């Protein structure tokens, strides 16, 4: 899950607005927080640490998807495939997995 999606979900779960978040984050106004929530900007390290404290989660949890995009073991095709897979509904994901398994000769576990 992308950092903007993660932040939106955490904010919604706790009932926080962009303004609420901005008041707790150093050097971040409501416009900046709104840009984070839309995925237009990324918070800096100090801001990320403050977000993690505010939401009560490890900072790494906010960056998990970003870190995975830096994985040198993954090819661009793998990143593209994963991004496309995540946009599918559950039924479509299952169908795609079945196609991939049939192409590789592996069975469902």
Least confident of 35-39, 58-62, 69-73: 69-73
Q: What is the mean pLDDT of residues 51-63?
A: 87
Q: Which tokens hold the place of 61? A: 């949890």
For 69-107, the pLDDT digits (tens) are: 556 666 778 878 888 888 889 999 999 999 989 998 876
What CATH architecture does domain 3-66 belong to? Orthogonal Bundle (1.10)
The domain ranges of the chain are 3-66, 72-104
At 60, the pLDDT band (50, 70, 90 cuts) reads confident
Q: Residue 21: phi, psi to the nearest 5?
A: -65, -45
Distance CA 83, CA 32 (A): 25
Predicted confidence (pLDDT) at residue 27 exceeds the cutoff of 70 = yes
Distance CA 12, CA 67 (A): 24
Q: What is the pLDDT of residue 68?
A: 59
Q: Residue 75: phi, psi to the nearest 5?
A: -85, 170
Predicted confidence (pLDDT) at residue 16 exceeds the cutoff of 90 = yes
At 109, the pLDDT band (50, 70, 90 cuts) reads low
């Amino acid at each position: 899950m992308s950092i903007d999606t993660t932040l939106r979900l955490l904010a919604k779960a706790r009932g926080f607005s962009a303004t609420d978040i901005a008041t707790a984050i150093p050097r971040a106004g409501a416009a900046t927080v709104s840009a984070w929530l839309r995925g237009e900007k990324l918070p800096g390290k100090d801001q990320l640490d403050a977000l993690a404290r505010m939401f009560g989660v490890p900072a790494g949890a906010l960056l998990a998807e970003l870190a995975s995009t830096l994985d040198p073991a993954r090819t661009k095709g793998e990143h593209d495939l994963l991004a496309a897979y995540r946009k599918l509904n559950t039924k479509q994901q299952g169908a795609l997995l079945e196609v991939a398994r049939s192409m590789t000769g592996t069975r469902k576990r």
